[in-house]
Structure 1
Amino acid sequence: MQESVSLAAMAAPHQKFTNPIADTDTAGPGDASRLTIDLGALAGNWRRLARLAGPAETAAAVKGDGYGIGLEAAGAALDRAGCRTFFVAVPSEGVRLRRVLPRATIYVLNGLTAGNANALAAAGLRPVIGSLEEWREWSAWRADGGQGEAALHIDTGMNRLGLTADEAQSVASADWQQQGLALVISHLACADTPAHALNQLQLERFRAAAGLFPGLPASLANSAGIHSGPDYRFDLVRPGIALYGGVFREGVAPLDVVATVEAQVLQVRDVAAGEPIGYGAAETVKRPSRVAILCVGYADGYPRASSSTDARSGASVFLHGQRAPLLGRISMDLMAIDVTDIPAARRGDWTELFGPNIAVDEVAGFAGTIGYELLTSLGGRYQRRYTGGV
């Protein structure tokens, strides 16, 4: 493992969170895009889920740089709201989070990478062991005096990471109580679709698997799983996208918006009917139009596939209380919108690309993807602003 923190740094007293971007902000004077992150909304979403999930503990997934809003900011806000257990994907994320939260419990979902048990334990990170090979390496390290803790991931139908039922049985038949196991987990594949038959099958399989490890806390539910009912919640739930205001389950409204992305109008120009807009002349205006050019493109994580063409409508933005549709292809750094019906539109206006008026999942839908991808793809050129500290 290449990244680690010293034990002295890990033991440093917990300090009040300050904006981690403030000292490293690369936004230049006059940069015309911004990302506003409402930490109060994030904390409020966690509290709502914790009330619903109780008496199970409510942890938080903060992988993918805190779903794009900033790992350190997300972790600190959730910690102040009462969250004590966190899930990251890779060790480097865990190292970053440990610097902010020296006393938190941090699990690494992608497991034990070869030869790194000692480094993970030294950094105060718990691997989520997802294969028999990982388990054998972990057991050997523990037998050699290693003192770290870990979780055990059992596959119940995702067929991604996790021990098979037979492999779990073999672990349970051995001396697992001496191996530092602190949690047994699985992951729901279809909880966002309540009627899917795999949900009940995974629940039954996980009950059987968790039963092999009596006394060990168990965790199955993600954001959607929390809303599947008490049977799915076990001892600990692991919400992710619901915390950040994205769609997480059919028929359930998203929680409060956390991330708002805005871009400034660089100019407004008149375009004659029949003239093309942007690369490839993909769209031709049908009427004399006023076209505003915005300072955001796919280099900022706004998906090119959300573009508008003559063949199909694209996404919209929000300006002066109205929706304004995209025109033509989104380019690397710019996009065009139709402001013909918004006479107040001017250079310098701020437009909402997604946030409280344009849902992130709506924009994602035009790109054939999901809100997770937009949030975790946000580029580094936005002026980041954190509000609603808790």
Structure 2
Amino acid sequence: MPDSTAPYPSSALPDAAEMRAGAVLSIDLGAIQANWRLLQARLGSAACAAVLKADAYGLGAAQVAPALAAAGCENFFVAHLHEGIALRAHVPAGARIHVLHGCFAGTEAECAAHDLIPVLNSPGQLAAWAALGVARGRRLPALIQIDTGMARFGFTEADLKAAIADGRALAAIDPRGVMSHLACADEPGHPANAAQRARFDALRALLPPLPASLSASSGIFLGPDFHYQMARPGAALYGVNPSPGEMNPMRPVVRLDARVIQLRDVPAGTPVGYGHTARTAGPARLATIAVGYADGYPRAGSNTGAAWFAGVPLPVLGRVSMDSIILDASALPEGALHEGALVTLIGPQRDIDAVGADCGTIGYEILTSLGRRYHRRYIAAEA
């Protein structure tokens, strides 16, 4: 990522659009590619897919998808049908796009028209997809999801056995694979991981042999027994640590630099921000920056965490407002910071997971909440 001491996130001078923006979100496409390659290497012969739901976790599927395709990714996952339709224009013609939520009733024809592969989660979805295939005289591709212990998506054991016993709907589709999802993969020692894997093996054995997928980001790091034929990483591609409590093996992808709107010197005991939840302990220099909870920096980050400038932490003081945050810039030398300068909220000193911890949440939520008001700078892909 760019040098943390530079006045702007790269050596290039800012353009007019960047100067108008209250903050700059830098997104390193080369780092996303490197993260995908690292995960693919760890998977060995298993395929490494990429989850691009929620607009590639908020970073822009139109930019991220071509970079991943250039790195060699051929399988993509989204949550909703409309995400898959939009993604189709940004990946090669032969790329496989899977829709995790399957098709809502009445949307099956649209899904097929855009060459998307639904993940069938229920008997109703299976029946509707099979009926469309029968009407068109061909078996349509799909993945089958089994619930192995999360009570969220997928066929229950009873559902699966009933579908197999009947046989007609399963015979009318082209099943490309069977999948499930781990509930506790970010806790390697949790007994649910082995229990879900055992249940996955038992239930998929009821079906004809099919390629299997159980793991997302954290599951890849549980070892080869969890890899099967394909894994579906999402957050790890974007720099979130897949192994909490251990050193993050992924390259950082995002950096958030906010512009200073105003500087002021205040005496000791000055109340700061809404509700006067903070007061200055001594004479202080305050810096108000142009990021707030409307930009995805949570209000829960009030009076915790910090921004950084020239390697110096500038603690958040008072409540996070809709459009602004007040920082204590007293530790900086006189004249070091000026109005219009950029300070770093997410970057080398404080990564996405640490900011999540500051705000009482996880890096996933911070990442996917980053707002649309930022000026976005994409750092070029490596391939």
Q: TM-score, normalised by structure 1?
A: 0.89
Say which of 126, 139, 142 aligns to 2:133.
142
1:57 equivalenced with 2:47 (yes/no): yes
Task: Using the aligned pairs only, state the percent identity.
Answer: 43
**8 Å CA contact retained: 1:183, 1:216:** yes
Q: How does 1:348-367 map to 2 (within 5 A)?
A: 348-367=340-359
Indicate the RMSD between aligned Cα atoms, in angstroms. 1.6
| 1:93 matched residue in structure 2 | 83
| 1:189 matched residue in structure 2 | 183
Instruction: Return the alpha-carbon distance in structure 1 between the equivalents of residues 82 and 44 of structure 2.
Output: 31
| 1:17 matched residue in structure 2 | none
1:249 equivalenced with 2:249 (yes/no): no
Say which of 263, 268, 283 aligns to 1:268.
263
**8 Å CA contact retained: 1:59, 1:237:** yes
1:213 equivalenced with 2:204 (yes/no): no
Q: Which amino acid aligns with 1:142?
A: G
Q: What SS is found at the alignment partner of 1:293?
A: strand
| 2:5 matched residue in structure 1 | none
**8 Å CA contact retained: 1:320, 1:345:** no
Q: Which amino acid aligns with 1:216?
A: L
Q: Which amino acid aligns with 1:122?
A: A
| 2:122 matched residue in structure 1 | 131
Say which of 114, 117, 132 aligns to 2:108.
117
Q: What's the CA shift string for 1:336-388, capped at 9, x where partnerless?
A: 11110112222222111112221111111122211111111111110001003
Shift in Å, 1:187: 0.3
Shift in Å, 1:172: 3.1
**8 Å CA contact retained: 1:88, 1:94:** yes
Q: What's the CA shift string for 1:16-66, capped at 9, x where partnerless?
A: xxxxxxxxx995752221100000000000000000011100001111110
Say which of 290, 303, 313 aligns to 1:295.
290
Shift in Å, 1:177: 4.5
Instruction: Return the alpha-carbon distance in structure 2 between the equivalents of residues 234 and 172 of structure 1.
Output: 23
Deviates further, 144-153 or 221-230:
144-153
Shift in Å, 1:214: 2.9
1:223 equivalenced with 2:209 (yes/no): no
Q: Which runs of 5+ in 2 are unaligned?
A: 1-14
Instruction: Return the alpha-carbon distance in structure 2 between the equivalents of residues 148 and 376 of structure 1.
Output: 32
Q: TM-score, normalised by structure 2?
A: 0.91
Q: Which amino acid aligns with 1:139?
A: A
Shift in Å, 1:328: 0.4
Residue correspondences, number = 361
| 1:6 matched residue in structure 2 | none
Q: Which runs of 5+ in 1 are unaligned?
A: 1-24, 309-313
Q: What SS is found at the alignment partner of 1:156?
A: coil
**8 Å CA contact retained: 2:46, 2:228:** yes
Say which of 279, 286, 292 aligns to 1:284.
279
Runs of 4+ in 1 over 6 A off after TM superposition: none
Q: How does 1:301-340 map to 2 (within 5 A)?
A: 301-308=296-303, 314-340=304-330
Shift in Å, 1:166: 1.9
| 1:151 matched residue in structure 2 | 143
Say which of 25, 35, 39 aligns to 1:45.
35
